[in-house]
Structure 1
């Protein structure tokens, strides 16, 4: 019974917040153009589903595409860094520069230099999502048990064998942590870049729908698009939480439920 209550608690909390929001708007008689009630947002979402769904899919494609590139680049570069510390010292500062440069400053330049708006948005989202995966993976590769490293050297394992058979499994929890962070950042990067780009491209995402609605003072439509963005971020986070659970539950303590925590 306690397990069921703990599982339903987040959903019940969210429902309670939505009910309080609905009642507060109705009680205070707040106009929809100032703060729409959840019921009005749901109605707007249904009425504009065709255009919002198309934009939602575009935003999802940019987000997942940027995240896939960030994973591929982060894993490959982190592996190279673990094999060659000299290359890490030489090129890691470049990754730091990309991380600390504001995306709102990069996006206009991308739109100037890259003809395709979609590619420019993809690169902007990739820049935001890339560093957490790289940094966490490098940290995980470094965190390998030194005694095991010496054991592999004793048995004359090659650098590639040490990487694939020892360091990579040890770095998996760190990589998954970076993946959870980058999942949300890729969505933020895609939305921020599109906000800067406006509606210049023929294909536009939810950020463009929010801008269009703000120009027309269609606040319920802005909230409807924002709700889809929040839903996307939550689904990405939940998906990677489930992935982390199935990959780590049998051997890593971070995904093993403590009996004391379960009883409480």
Structure 2
């Protein structure tokens, strides 16, 4: 079997085995649906509540994409600033680290006090997604081959020519890796903020639907919402991975190996 067939078939096989084991456990031990619903009940609930759940998913994905775009643009811009002016990097990079290591569950309630709900959720999505883009892009810009840098300086290239023609292309793999990480983290930040919003987020995102289902012991709907969130995260990752592959496939070793 080809490697591509194995990479597709084996995860599907594992998923099928897990679903079968889940169904057998629920049926064998007669577990009630409010404790652990079976996969069939979760699927039927997902279909029955599709209108409500997909509307909430759209709200969550909108906030996720907005936070991701802000993190991507801001992270790359600040990485360029840090690379060009080391004094700025030394002054502000430690605060970016502090922002990253502070748990978002502790920041979200504070943001909800001072900001409108939409902006607070957006800020949480941006906070957790910003640092991976900043750190990876900064590392890529600072890791340019010194021999190539000396060659550009020998030909009297300006600072901006070096940045545009050498540093940014060389940093592209690290930048794209940071974006792949940031995509999933922005979804996590949006979900955490929506849960922290509690009743203030009534009628909004999918995370609120999960909390609401838990309060009402509607466990099948909670599982259905969790399935949608997981699928959204997987789609985000694969979309960003595909973008990375398309950008790098003609010249970078990590993408060329996938075609062999």
TM-score range, shorter chain: over 0.9
Q: 1:131: which partner in 2?
A: 131
* Partner residue, 2:94: 93
- The answer to which of 247-256 and 62-71 deviates more is 247-256
SS in 1 for 2:200: coil
> How far apart, CA to CA, are the structure 2 residues paired with 1:77 and 1:9?
41
- Per-residue Cα deviation, 1:62-114 (whole angstroms, up to 9, x for no partner): 11110000000001000111111111111111111110111122111211111
| 2:80 corresponds to | 79
1:176 equivalent in structure 2 = 176
Quote the Cα distance in structure 1 between the aligned partners of 2:202 and 2:212.
14
What is the rounded CA distance, in whole Å, between the counterparts of 1:47 and 1:258 in structure 2? 40
Q: CA deviation at 1:24?
A: 2.2
Q: Is contact 1:118-1:201 (8 Å) kept?
A: no
User: Structure 2: which 5+ residue stretches go unaligned?
Assistant: none
Secondary structure at the residue paired with 2:31? Answer: coil
- Say which is worse superposed, 21-30 or 40-49, in terms of deviation: 21-30
The answer for the alignment partner of 1:16 in structure 2 is: 17
After superposition, the Cα gap between the structure-2 partners of 1:204 and 1:258, relative to the gap in structure 1 and judged at 3 Å, is closer
Q: Equivalents in 1 of 2:153, 2:160: separation in Å?
A: 12
Matched residue, 1:251: 251
Shift, 1:203, TM fit: 4.9
- 1:155 equivalent in structure 2: 155
Please state whether the residue corresponding to 1:130 is helix, strand or coil.
Answer: helix
User: What CA distance in whole angstroms lies between the structure 1 residues aligned with 2:248 and 2:35?
Assistant: 46
Shift of 1:35: 1.0
Matched residues in 2 for 1:32 and 1:207: separation? 21
Q: Which residue in 2 is equivalent to 1:185?
A: 185
- Structure 1 stretches lacking a partner, 5+ long: none
| Preserved contact between residue 32 and residue 220 of structure 1 (Cα < 8 Å) | yes
- Take 1:92 and 1:169, find their aligned partners in 2: how far apart are those partners? 23
* Cα separation, partners in 2 of 1:203 and 1:158, compared to 1, 3 Å: farther
Secondary structure of the residue aligned to 2:134 is: helix
CA distance in 1, matches of 2:258, 2:176: 21
Is the Cα–Cα contact under 8 Å of residues 201 and 208 in structure 2 kept in the other structure?
no
Q: Does 1:32 align with 2:36?
A: no
CA contact (8 A) 1:71 1:130 kept: yes
1:52 aligned onto 2:53: yes
- Provide closer, same or farther for how the CA distance between residues 258 and 222 of structure 1 changes in structure 2, counting only shifts above 3 A: closer
Question: Could you say if the C-alpha distance between residues 5 and 258 of structure 1 is closer, same or farther in structure 2, counting changes exceeding 3 Å?
Answer: closer
Over 3 Å counting, the alpha-carbon distance change for 1:99 and 1:6 in structure 2 is: closer
Which residue of the partner structure matches residue 142 of structure 1? 142
Structure 2 Cα separation of the partners of residues 107 and 31 of structure 1: 35
Given that 1:70 and 1:129 are in contact with CA atoms closer than 8 Å, whether structure 2 keeps it comes out as yes
- Aligned-partner Cα distance in 2 for 1:97–1:190: 20
Q: Secondary structure at the match of 1:32?
A: coil
Tell me by how many angstroms 1:23 deviates.
2.1
Are the counterparts in 1 of residues 194 and 201 from structure 2 also a CA contact under 8 Å? Answer: no
Partner Cα distance (2:74, 2:121) in 1: 17
Hey, what does 1:216 align to over in structure 2? 216
CA RMSD, aligned part only?
1.5
